[in-house]
Chain A
Amino acid sequence: MSAIIEVKSVSKRFGGFHAVNDCTLSVEKGSVTGLIGPNGAGKSTLFNMVAGTLEPTSGTILFDGEDVTGLPSHALYKRRLLRTFQIAHEFSNMTVLENLMMVPDNQTGEGLIGAWFMPVRVGREEEAIRRKAEEVLDFLKITHVKTELAGNLSGGQKKLLELGRTMMTDAKVVLLDEIAAGVNRTLLNDLASNIERLNRELGYTFFVIEHDMDLIARLCDPVIVMAAGSVMTQGHIADIQNDPRVIEAYFGGSPTGNATVAHANQVEARP
């Protein structure tokens, strides 16, 4: 297997602060790679640079062997790299359906000439895109809000919409930034199955930031751990969970983060 994303000693500075510091990592084609690390480790910043939303201060980023450092994000989209945002970036004054329908590119109706003079062709394309969007909504179980303004969605629904957009078109690589946060666990199970299916059947590569260890354990191999802006270690989740450095920096004592058992018992005891 070859690497589809290669990050080579990339740094990002905000003022004097190194959010990402000489970070080198790679994501194998066809893998589901996890990215974990403490809050503020620089994971989202790294994503933003890979996806072209931020420009690195130094270093190079290769996508499918091509140097894409500093390219704007629409150029990366054209190379079929899709991403979600950790803090939902919905188009708040557009309906949920429109939010999805705007995603596919090369729409004839997006050019003035097409919009003016090729109504039939535009109509045909629209029909297909709409059908696709409705499928996605069904899958995410938010069909009932399809004509709602996206700004009026609940927090979790926005995250689902965020994910839904990446399902609107073919992709080579999908970057998922904490899609689990705020999403109902039952639904999350379906999402995870879908990710597995896309990965297996269509060969999508996923690069996933997540704090939910169950999800990471279920989906990701390998897992990369970032801390303080650079890669701390990487490997299989089982090894990671037992790495004392990771436990120290990330899990804070126990590898699952369940420090609450004692109290739970106390609650039981109350009248």
Chain B
Amino acid sequence: MSLLEIRNLHAGYGQMTILKGIDMMLDAGEIGVIVGPNGAGKSTTLKAIFGMLNITEGSIHFDGHDITGISPEKLAAHKIAMVPQEHNVFATLTVHENLEMGAYTRRDDYSRVMDEVYEIFPPLKDKRRQAAGELSGGQRQMVAFGRALMIEPKLILLDEPTAGLSPMYMSEIFDRVIAINKLGVTVAMVEQNAKQALAIAHKGFVLANGQNSYTDTGRALLDNPEVAKSFLGG
């Protein structure tokens, strides 16, 4: 039994179907990386897992529970966190409050996690009293990632977490993904920095036109010349 099981997923926005049969399995403790051209349906897949759109066919199971079409706010209780690709910070809330909101479902003391986030991203510490909307593009990404860490999730869904980050923080994010993964957190991430991402992935999924086109280990995908040419930029 995999931790996350997606079978034959069909989903879309309103009338329009975008995902036309996605299959995806992730075992506990794995890193899965989703790559593909722009508009392939990568973000849509993550959103579908998170109950944010109409699922017309197929099923999603998490940890043995059927979570197909469950509303997003319930998923936080399952300890699933997500970093959306766009609009991923509360622009009018301060950085600190953004992190607090990440821990909204927690009733215990989370100051330790908070300190850790500030440690990973020192710029956030300086800006903790500033509204997130006033941050630079990269700083926002840090906030978004930090926010997702706050519930200490079992499964974390990351939609292009490194977009807009300087090389230093890009590697920081990858390191962090590895670190939390080592603690047993399962990671599903969409990346355009595909080479680096696939390098750390246990599983890789290449999506095109709303369907799986390749599924393999990260390494194998990297080494597949076909994949490299059409999706990874040679």
- Sorted nearest first, the 10 A-B pairs with minimum C-beta distance are A185-B233, A39-B138, A252-B168, A257-B167, A156-B38, A181-B163, A264-B199, A259-B171, A155-B85, A40-B136
State whether the Cβ of A123 lies closer than 8 Å to any Cβ in chain B: no
Which of A182, A186, A188, A268 has a CB less than 8 Å from the CB of B163? A182
25 contacting pairs across A/B (C-beta < 8 A): A38-B138, A39-B137, A39-B141, A40-B123, A86-B164, A152-B13, A154-B44, A155-B160, A156-B192, A182-B38, A182-B160, A183-B192, A184-B36, A185-B194, A185-B195, A187-B233, A189-B233, A250-B168, A252-B167, A252-B172, A256-B167, A257-B167, A257-B171, A263-B174, A267-B217
B206-234 Cβ-contact flags toward A at 8 Å (1 or 0): 00000000000111000000000111111
Contact A260 B171 (CB under 8 A): yes
Contact B167 A213 (CB under 8 A): yes
A158: nearest residue on chain B (CB-CB)?
Answer: B86
Which of A45, A152, A178, A184 has a CB less than 8 Å from the CB of B38? A184
Residues of A in contact (CB 8 Å), total: 55
Contact A184 B192 (CB under 8 A): yes
State whether the Cβ of A261 lies closer than 8 Å to any Cβ in chain B: yes
State whether the Cβ of B39 lies closer than 8 Å to any Cβ in chain A: yes
Chain A residues within an 8 Å CB radius of B234: 185-186, 189
Contact B134 A183 (CB under 8 A): no
- Which residues of B approach A to under 8 Å, CB–CB? 13, 31, 36-40, 42-44, 85-86, 123, 134-139, 141-142, 159-160, 163-172, 174-175, 178, 192, 194-196, 199-202, 217-219, 229-234
Interface residues of A in 166-198 (CB under 8 A from B): 178, 181-189
Chain B residues within an 8 Å CB radius of A183: 38, 192
Q: Please judge, given known A-B contacts A157-B39, A183-B38, whether A39 and B139 are in contact too, CB under 8 Å.
A: yes
A247-271 Cβ-contact flags toward B at 8 Å (1 or 0): 0001111111111110110011010
Which of A45, A145, A157, A182: most chain B Cβ within 10 A? A182
